[in-house]
Amino acid sequence: MLRKIAVPLIAMVVFLVLWELIVWANGWPNYIMASPSDLPAAYAKYWNLFFVMGWQTLWRTVLGLLLAIAFGVFLGMVMGFSRTMRDALYPLLVGFNAIPKATVVPIVALLFVGAHDFNTVLIAFMISFFPIAVSVSIGLSTLEPEYRDILRSLGASQSTIFWKIALPKTLPEFFGALKVAVTLAFIGTNLMEIVSPHGRGLGALFDSGKTNSDYPLMFAVLIALAALGIVLYYIVVWLEKIFAGWAERPST
């Protein structure tokens, strides 16, 4: 347990030290490249904005992620249990996912003018449901047919097969995809906050720092976003240990 806490912390400290050394070695002033030693002053100066806007970013991201989980699991079930639907939907999903979401943000902003919270949640949802849907689909489509045949012969419905056999089997793939979806949801939230600014969220705070050439503030926002992402990631890891800990292999 101590190793799992100490190793990531040491890695973060090494990263910050290397960052500080690179800035110092190149002699960059903080209006070109901020260093970690510049960030505490930015947090102290704008701490109230970080709390308010950080919460705005966090709840929109979490809501978009929850919607992505619900829709992704449903879509994965449809594709996993039906080869026809899988063949029909996969090209559409791949094509949709290949579109840069930065190009979708202005379209969404124009479609729903003034609905800032809805737009932000929608982009977070749109960018994060794909890996969940694909992982659930793959997990279900690779379910051994013998299990299905035995349960069907015993009178089990499709939903019973899903809850009793298919869902537990797909949990490792689901949580693996969820770890990816967490970071994607943050990317979606901040894309909307930056590309279509409305004065809310850490993306708006970053945009304010860019407008005022306040590089320490900009980098402080980036670190705050990274911290929120890490917190959500470890929440997913914790949930994975509860619901799919049986799939974890011991490592040295």
21 domain-assigned: no
Look up the CATH number of the domain holding residue 133.
Answer: 1.10.3720.10
166 domain-assigned: yes
pLDDT score, position 14: 93
38 domain-assigned: no
pLDDT score, position 250: 56
Burial string for 215-244 (b: 16+ CB within 10 Å, else e) reads bbbbbbbbebbeebbeebeeebeeebeeeb
- How high is the mean pLDDT of the chain? 85
pLDDT score, position 28: 85
Q: What is the pLDDT of residues 183-199, one digit of tens each?
A: 999 998 988 888 876 77
pLDDT score, position 248: 65
Q: Answer with the residue of higher pLDDT: 89 or 169.
A: 89
The structure tokens 């505490």 sit at 40
Q: What is the pLDDT of residues 54-72, one digit of tens each?
A: 999 999 999 999 999 999 9
Range of lowest pLDDT (39-48, 86-95, 192-201): 192-201
Range of lowest pLDDT (8-22, 82-96, 165-179): 165-179
DSSP-assigned states of every residue in 24-87:
HHHT--TTT---GGGHHHHHHHSHHHHHHHHHHHHHHHHHHHHHHHHHHHHHHHHHHH-HHHHH
How far apart are the C-alpha atoms of 77 and 139, rounded to whole Å? Answer: 9
Share of residues in the chain with pLDDT > 90 (%): 35
70 domain-assigned: yes
The answer on pLDDT for 252 being more than 60 is: no
Structural domain for 223, as ranges: 46-245
77, 69 contact by CB (below 8 A): no
pLDDT score, position 137: 86
8-state DSSP, 99 = S
The answer on pLDDT for 204 being more than 70 is: yes
250 domain-assigned: no
Number of independent structural domains in the chain: 1
pLDDT score, position 246: 66
225 domain-assigned: yes
10 domain-assigned: no
251 domain-assigned: no
Q: Considering the entire predicted model, what is its pTM?
A: 0.86
Query: pLDDT band at 247, cuts 50/70/90?
Result: low
Q: What is the pLDDT of residues 127-169, one digit of tens each?
A: 999 999 988 888 777 777 676 677 677 777 767 777 777 777 7
